[in-house]
Amino acid sequence: MKAIIDGAIVADASDSDLISIEGNYYFPPSSIATGALSDSPTPYTCPWKGVAQYHDISVGGSTHHDAAWSYPDPYPASFDRVGRDYSGYVAFDKQQVTVAE
């Protein structure tokens, strides 16, 4: 699967490396293009996953605000619900980023 914005691939991983949570694909940190993400100050805490880190995506001179998010230190209890540790995995805003084969 690939995460694409403005024609640029910002993440690329095999299906077996992705984690699906609540209808979103989470990409492993190693699959994210170097320098594509920068931390956003937008706050959010999920009641069962924990504190999220939003990310802006910069490609081709454009910045897309809050186009991705991750959980750097999710609640350990959420691993049972998800089925594995997803710390640092990155999901993308479907309105800004296309995730496709």
Identify the CATH assignment for 2-100 out of 2.170.150.40, 2.40.50.140, 3.40.1190.20, 3.30.360.10. 2.170.150.40
pLDDT digits (tens, 9 = 90+) for 2-25: 999 999 999 999 999 999 999 999
Give SS3 for 36.
coil
* Domain extent listing, the chain: 2-100
pLDDT tens for residues 42-87? 999 999 999 999 999 999 899 999 999 999 999 999 999 999 999 9
What pLDDT shows up at residue 18? 98
**How many CB atoms within 10 Å of residue 95?**
7
**Quick one: 28 exposed, middle or buried, by C-beta within 10 A (0-12, 13-18, 19+)?**
middle
Residue 69 main-chain phi, psi, to 5 deg: -155, 160
Do the beta carbons of residue 91 and residue 24 sit within 8 Å? yes
The single residue listed with the structure tokens 């931390």 is: 39
